[in-house]
Amino acid sequence: MIIGPIGFTVPWLLVALAALPILWVILRAVPPAPIRRRFPGVALLLGLRDDDSVTDRTPWWLLLLRMLAVAAVIIGLAGPVLNPRDEGDTVRTGPMLIVLDASWSSARDWPSKSALLDTMLAEAGRASRPVAVLRLTAPEPPVFQSAESWRSRLSGLAPSAWAPGPGDMAQAAAVLGDTSFETRWFSDGLAREGRDRLLQALESRGPVTVHESAVPVLALTPATVEDGTLQVTARRVSPGPAREISVEAHGRDPSGVPRLLATLPLNFEAGATQATGALTLPAELRARLTRFEIAGQSHAGAVTLTDDSLKRREVALIAGREDREGLELLSPLHYLEQALEPSADILDGALMDVLPANPDVIVLADVATLSGAEQAALLEWTEQGGMLLRFAGPRLAASDVARSEEAPLLPVRLRAGGRSVGGAMSWGEPKALAPFAESSPFFGLPIPDDVTVSAQVMAQPDPTLADRVIAQLSDGTPLVTRKRIGTGQVVLFHVTANAEWSSLPLSGLFVQMLERLAVSSAVALPDLAELQGTTWQPVQVLDGFGTLREAGTLPGVDGERLISDMIGADLQPGLYEGPDRRFALNVIAPDTELAPTTWPARVPVTGLERPPEAPLGGWLLAGALLLLMADVIASLALSGRLAPARAAITGIVAATLLIPGGAEAQTQSDRDKALLAASEVVLAHVLTGDPQLDEMARSGLMGLGETLFFRTSVEPAAPVGVDLEMDELAVYPLLYWPVTPDQPIPSAEAYVKLNDYLRTGGMILFDTRDANVAGFGASSPNGRKLQRLAAPLDIPPIEPIPDDHVLTRTFYLLQDFPGRHSGRPVWVEAAPPDAEQVEGMPFRNLNDNVTPVVIGGNDWAAAWAMDSRGNPLYPVGRGFSGERQRELAYRFGVNLVMHVLTGNYKSDQVHVPALLDRLGQ
Amino acid sequence: MTLSAPLRARSESEASRFPALLARAEQLAGTVLLGEHGRRRAGMGDDFWQYRPVQAGDELRHIDWRRSARSDTQFIRQREWQIAQSVTIWVDQAASMRFASGDDLPEKADRARLVALAISILLNRAGERVGLSGDEVPPRRGEAQISRVAEALLREGEADYGAPQTEGMAAHGRALFLSDFLGDIAPVREALTAAADRGVQGVLFQVLDPAEESFPYRGRTIFESVGGTLAHETLKASELRDKYLARLAARKDELRTLCSKTGWQYGLHHTSDSAQSALLWLYNAFDGGHGR
């Protein structure tokens, strides 16, 4: 039975609703039940009478409450169902073929698709219909099996990262066989060649229903570099209303952990199918990019991988002479810097310093001789694919390099002296450039007329010379020569890199030549000719959901297929590794067209969603329970027995509020703790998580507090342990931090607090408690832990405590700072470099601050520790000398607290002469 | 065998309660310091009372030579006369005493036993003879008597409301009645009259639960006595409160006048108060009696 959107599974139970009025009458007549109590004083009650009887009839609203509860129970048991499945017209018989596009664009809706598929298979199983599944990305002849067996394999059906090609569609149409069946087609919503033919083939065998999501698919095209920014373009299948999406740029952080590096919002205008945005990233960040991804679209089409083409080149510039200060325009590197700066990262430094950075290009401007080690390292770097670009100059011309035999790092042998043309002492005009040969990398560059060469170094004629010349002058002398070494190359410009010998560096041609040599430009996309004959090995491939997986044993592919072929099962999208670079093969190429499917009107197309059946019985029964609970409370209230029940109700309410209440209580107790610390002097120690150590630190600070109380006017309250993550630190003058190898490293937020604490005058006493056996070479576990703990802290330079540090005389005169151990070096903030001892003064005018850290390993807390009766807890040394050591430890503690509280007050004596002078004495 | 097991278990649990009660009572008694109370006149005893000159008829061995040596006359050292009295205690064992209105309150019977045993210990230490009314535990002295009293106190009566027993009460002794006195008042009156006839003076100590004083009940209720013999139904318990309190006050008044007529003392104790206060009051009541 169906009423509106609600159906009932057991409708005859609703008849019981007719009994409700009878219930009304019965309930009305029954007064609330009495409660029985034991009461010894009943003997005194005997014979007493009630003045007026309490209501013996139930009030109407309580009746209504009960009637509602009973009605809810009846209706709930009748099995109401919202949106009951109307199974009448979908039940068909005969075999069923399920066609899945199973392409990357199906991946987005895959969960809802497989859910729908699951219910469909379940229905087919109930109707005993044989089912076959055909995936268009991997068409195989359909095998009709029981629906249950398909259902168990459902989780194994995953979408592919590519789309079915025309060949796949044709093959799918061919393998259908002769049996007739009903077809359910899960379309991915993208138009493609061969869909119509397959549809006809399917329709000839039975009715076809198409399931397709109405949400348009978004796709991302590979990012390109324009004017130093990254251009990111997203497409959508069909124009629609304006929409904003965000593109995430993922990459690795410096430690190699994958992270989200940047987010770029993109806006689709209303009616537009394409949205473009520019992303500006620093070069280092850009070099670490691995992929772009449209947020929230989990399919391979929304992911583009990046390869070497996005990276900026790193160029190291090294000149032979840098000593001509001021003459910038004559600097051998000036024009190179100008040409390269917009498009490349320039490294400066000595050759051996920049080589470990593995730059892409090293430029040697007029560098003649290299030391043996430099030459070997440079050669090795070049052999591994480096590009060495050399310029001639007076030094090279004057040197003996490559005179008699070919130098390994020069392309050609050079003749002594070079030549000068068109000068005052020579014949002839300055030479112009000859057009570039076809084999030259500069082929096709226009040569400006005003580029002339007036001096150059000359190549020695050689059998290999002709092959190595890539640019020459109009008289045929080589201007640029190149030699390949290993996978790298050496290029020599036979002129200077400045305008001394030629006007080439002044011209635009110079920049273009550098670009062609791939010095300045990013790595250009390889073209077809370059890829021919090479084999590329897949390293990582994308699956349909846009996740990168290791390629495993996938075979290598021919280079030209990377550009010419469509992606498919044997050419999966992903990262390929070639001879000297990586190539990213993306699902969406820059020219991929996306168009929505158009189905003929005769084919029924439905969405993926079905309004789910919602049984309401549970809700109604739960509501009835709630009503009955309300009835219990109301009945108690009516019969005046709510008072004892109130405690229970308060308890329940308190229990339900316990969790937020707990948090509140937490902050409350934190506030109390901070309030206490702010109203007294409270020494604090950092909780390390080791209960024994924390107890020791606490009793140590307590002992120190007692000592201070007896000997000085500092009267500290009981020490507290602070949790760096939770507690407010600003209220504690001193933090004692015992170091154990296994205490947790505080979080970043805690370090922010600690740094604030240190900057605003707090002091941390680090205690490695190992007597500093290893010195601060940090080979003891505690020392290493201390280094790790203190690394994020903003600690100034430190030094072993000098003899005239104010800490040696804030209360006691001390020269040793023993704790339980008596290791000597205790480290404090270093004195300013200009601190000097004034004549006649016993100490220097040191820091005008409290040192933010004191670092040592003498286990002070153990020496200070005392129990509640003032007895020392841990032995120190032996006999009298041990007691003396403990006394000195207390004195150090007193001095430390005095130093924290009074700052450099004791250092002010340094000003006494000046004050006396000012007073005229 | 089948019968003996539960009997054994029950007696074990009873026996385990017994030292607990005794220990609590000892502890309670320890809070009141006292020695043997003197009679304030010369007589047999251990404590020094006075020196007096020798009179005719004194035995020579009673002369205190040390005192006499300091003067010309001879002195006799007299000791204080110390005697023991019999105190008979009746603790109401009826069902109505086994009531406590809250989990944090002791039962009235528990408090009554505790106080009775503690005052027994105190009196015993003071040299009095203590016993329970009835024939079982007649007044005696000594530690063993305390054990006997404690054992007898742990028995529970069947009746709903108890009536005082006057058997075994020594003439001209002293008595202590501990009960809630909520039952019929006639037996109490009879017992007191009988006791007064035999020259017995004592203390009537009423132990009440706070709920019996405040009557904090509301709504439709059936009140039952603890033994279940009496019941009273009301539709609105809160309406009964004033009437109940008036009757309770009348009962207290009646007890008080009864006491004043027979020369007894009347005490009231609530189980919500500390047992020590009850003990102190009782001790004063007895000690004051001696002083008179």
- Which of A34, A51, A640 has its CB closest to that of B222? A34
Between B235 and A881, where is the model more confident?
Answer: A881
Task: Write the CB contacts of A207 (distance below 8 Å, at least 6 apart in sequence).
Answer: A182, A183
Q: HSE, CB side, 13 Å, CA atoms: give it for residue A786.
A: 27
Rounded mean pLDDT, A117-145? 85
Give residue-wise pLDDT tens across range B239-278. Answer: 788 888 999 999 999 999 999 888 888 999 999 988 888 8
pLDDT for position B289: 43
Between B29 and A856, where is the model more confident?
Answer: A856
| Cross-chain Cβ contact A34/B226 below 8 Å | no
Angle at A556 between CA A550 and CA A557, to 5 degrees: 120
| Cross-chain Cβ contact B239/A50 below 8 Å | yes
Cα separation values, A554 from A327, A537, A550, A657, Å: 59, 8, 9, 58
Tokens standing for residue A553 = 């044993």
pLDDT for position A841: 62
Give residue-wise pLDDT tens across range A16-51. Answer: 888 888 887 777 666 666 778 888 888 888 877 766
pLDDT for position A89: 44
Give residue-wise pLDDT tens across range B130-139. Answer: 888 877 888 8
Between CA A698 and CA A915 the distance in angstroms is 43
Distance of CA B7 to the CA centre of its chain: 30
Give residue-wise pLDDT tens across range A468-490. Answer: 898 888 888 888 998 888 878 89
Q: Comparing C-alpha atoms, which of A757, A732, A731 is closest to residue A746?
A: A757
Phi and psi of A8, rounded to 5°?
A: -120, 135
Angle at A896 between CA A893 and CA A899, to 5 degrees: 150
* Residues B208 and B224 sit within 8 Å (Cβ to Cβ): no
For chain A, the average pLDDT equals: 80
pLDDT for position A460: 85
Give the mutation candidate from A38, A636, A641 for the B interface (greatest B CB count, under 10 A): A38
pLDDT level of residue A703 (50, 70, 90 thresholds): very high
| Min distance B274 CA to chain A CA atoms (Å) | 21
pLDDT for position B252: 92
Model confidence at A56: pLDDT above 60: no
- Which of A35, A38, A53 has its CB closest to that of B219? A35
* Eight-class DSSP state of A714: -
Model confidence at A877: pLDDT above 80: yes
With residue B176 as reference, give the H or E element that holds it. Answer: strand B174-179
Give residue-wise pLDDT tens across range A299-353. Answer: 888 888 887 666 667 788 887 655 545 566 667 788 888 888 777 778 887 788 8
Concatenated DSSP letters of A284-328: HHHHTEEEEEETT--SGGGEEE--GGGPPEEEEEEES----TT-G
Give residue-wise pLDDT tens across range A169-197. Answer: 888 888 888 888 888 888 888 888 888 88
- Which of A31, A43, A50 has its CB closest to that of B234? A50
Lookup result for tokens 């003197």: B38
First vs last Cα of chain A: how many Å apart?
114
pLDDT for position B255: 92
pLDDT for position A190: 84
Model confidence at B292: pLDDT above 50: no
> Which residues of B are less than 8 Å from A644 in CB distance?
none
Rounded mean pLDDT, A862-880? 86
pLDDT for position A310: 65
Any idea which of A335-344, A575-584, A642-651, B99-108 has the lowest mean pLDDT? Answer: A642-651
Q: HSE, CB side, 13 Å, CA atoms: give it for residue B265.
A: 16
Phi and psi of A841, rounded to 5°?
A: -105, 140
Concatenated DSSP letters of A37-101: EE-TTHHHHTT---SSPPP-S--HHHHHHHHHHHHHHHHHHT-EEES----TTT---S-EEEEE-
Between CA A760 and CA A883 the distance in angstroms is 36
**Which letter, b or e, does each residue of A713-750 get, where b requires 16 or more Cβ atoms within 10 Å of its Cβ?**
ebebeebbbbebeebbbebbbbbbbbbeeebeebeeeb
Helix axes A617-638, A60-77, angle to 10 degrees: 160
Between CA A441 and CA A524 the distance in angstroms is 13
Helix (DSSP H) and strand (DSSP E) numbers for chain A: 25, 41
| Min distance A65 CA to chain B CA atoms (Å) | 21
Distance of CA A203 to the CA centre of its chain: 50
- As for the ipTM of the complex, it is 0.74
| Min distance B239 CA to chain A CA atoms (Å) | 7
**Beta strands A208-211; A313-319: pairing state:** unpaired
pLDDT for position A699: 92
Q: What is the pTM of this model?
A: 0.40
Q: Comparing C-alpha atoms, which of A172, A225, A227, A226 is closest to residue A201?
A: A172
Instruction: Give the percent of chain A with pLDDT over 90.
Output: 4
* Residues A626 and A64 sit within 8 Å (Cβ to Cβ): no
Model confidence at A382: pLDDT above 70: yes
Number of Cβ atoms within 10 Å of the Cβ of A185: 23
| Cross-chain Cβ contact B221/A53 below 8 Å | no
Model confidence at A530: pLDDT above 80: no
Between CA A896 and CA A809 the distance in angstroms is 10
Domains of chain B, each with CATH number or no CATH: 5-30+84-288 (3.40.50), 41-82 (no CATH)
With residue A223 as reference, give the H or E element that holds it. Answer: strand A218-226
Residue of B nearest to A640 (CA): B219
Number of Cβ atoms within 10 Å of the Cβ of A820: 24
Q: Comparing C-alpha atoms, which of A840, A846, A827, A828 is closest to residue A906?
A: A846
Q: Comparing C-alpha atoms, which of A752, A882, A36, A516 is closest to residue B230?
A: A36
Give residue-wise pLDDT tens across range B134-176. Answer: 778 888 888 888 888 888 888 888 888 888 887 877 777 888 9
